Copies of this chain bind each other. A is one copy, B any other.
Amino acid sequence: MPQTEPIIYPEIKVPSRILLGPGPSMADPRVLKAMSTPLVGHLDPEFVKVMDGIQELLRYVFQTENALTLPVSGTGTAAMEAAVANLIEPGDAVLVCVNGYFGRRIAEMAERYGAQVEIITRPWGEIFSAEEVDAALKARPAQIVAIVHAETSTGALQPLDEISRVVHQYGALFVVDAVTSLGGLPVRVDETGIDVCYSGAQKCLSATPGASPITFGPRAVEKIDARKTVVANWYLDMSLLKNYWGGQPRTYHHTAPISAYYGLYEALRLAAEEGLENRWARHRKNAEMLWQGIEELGLSMHVPLENRIPSLTTVRIPKDVDDLSIRKALLSEYNIEISGGFAELAGRVWRIGLMGYSSRAENVLLLLAALKKLLE
């Protein structure tokens, strides 16, 4: 439209949605208020205090003392790429455990950064045993092992402690995707021995997407410091970014997404106020209420009880029910967003998220009532 005259455009008008899909979750009103805080410069001494607060609070939610703990200036996928790009040098052997969409994405990224990628797989909805990882590393050593803690695409929760021990027995680094778990269920970076852990802001932390938590432990930092090649990705290069996040003096790398940091700070403050134990318990309690209600509707979960993610439930769609028409009716009649499955679970499951501010008894009750009405 090469014209330069004034044009009148309509105001943003989006409906009030009840977000019960795989993310974004609903942001707490306090987070939305923080997002409208006027800007200050990204090197303003008062902004540096916000950054310090974010780092300290991220250490709390990650349960870590890692110095290199910060939000990446992008959404969860950027945090994944920051982990992959910084840790991997061309030729590195990387083992990726793939039992869903996001494991596959890690493998794809690792290949782009020149890794020799080996994958082990499980059907979507199942989890890996430590023995499987052990066997894979015995057959072919790797410098890095990556796994998804809570697979948003399947609803399966991966236990980490045993696998972490195996990974370190082989001297490898352990990378964990905690996008859908951080802030909603126990993630204990130091206790579990995770070397790199990352997440998103818009899941169980209920900030708005755009600044994504990541933490690097001492072994990971050592590998990064010893790199022989430069990180291909400039925007996410930790060797440069760390000077903005902790250098004396702090030096400019790229302009920070200031408002997203305001929102993340407030979301983390809310998590700290509630306390992690209480927050984990709330997510668990509301998930159990959902699971019971789903069963009472005569439906079943895709993942067995012992492996279910409290923040993301996959519900099997009955054969005689049309996936899309139910989801469309939920959205248009009740403003409720849930999501379908994708790839091999497309049309087979619904994905229901109870994350952060969205994890509320009233939301569970409403969704169950709406589903009951629509399935009748």
Contacts and interface: CB of A to CB of B under 8 A. Distances in A.
A155 interface: no
Contact of A75 (B3, B64, B73, B337): B73
A10 B17 CA distance: 30
A27 B1 contact: no
A337 B24 contact: no
Interface string A318-360: 0000000000000100000101001000000000000000000
B38 A36 contact: no
Interface string A252-283: 11111111101101101100111111100000
Contacts of A255: 23-24, 75-77, 200, 202, 209
Interface stretch (A50-58, A130-138, A169-177, A291-299): A50-58
A289 interface: no
A232 interface: yes
A interface, size bucket:
35 or more
B32 A254 contact: no
Copies in the complex: 2
A359 to B, nearest CB: 15
Interface string A223-248: 00000001111110000000000000
B273 A8 contact: yes
A209 B331 CA distance: 31
Interface stretch (A108-116, A120-128, A140-148, A157-165): A108-116
Interface stretch (A40-48, A91-99, A304-312, A366-374): A40-48
Interface in A1-27: 1-17, 19, 21, 23-27
Contacts of A263: 259
A222 B135 CA distance: 46
A188 interface: yes
A190 interface: yes
A2 B337 contact: no
Contacts of A233: 81, 112, 232-233
A47 B13 CA distance: 9
Contacts of A42: 24, 209
A257 B208 contact: yes
A63 interface: yes
Contacts of A8: 272-273
A78 interface: yes
A4 B209 contact: no
A189 to B, nearest CB: 9
A191 interface: yes
A210 interface: yes
A39 interface: yes
A272 B44 contact: no
Nearest to A206: B39
B4 A275 contact: yes
Closest 3 A/B residue pairs (Cβ): A6-B275, A210-B257, A77-B254
Interface of A: 1-17, 19, 21, 23-27, 32-42, 44, 46-47, 50, 53, 56-57, 59-60, 63-65, 73-78, 81, 105, 108-109, 112-113, 188, 190-191, 200, 202, 208-210, 230-235, 252-260, 262-263, 265-266, 268-269, 272-278, 331, 337, 339, 342
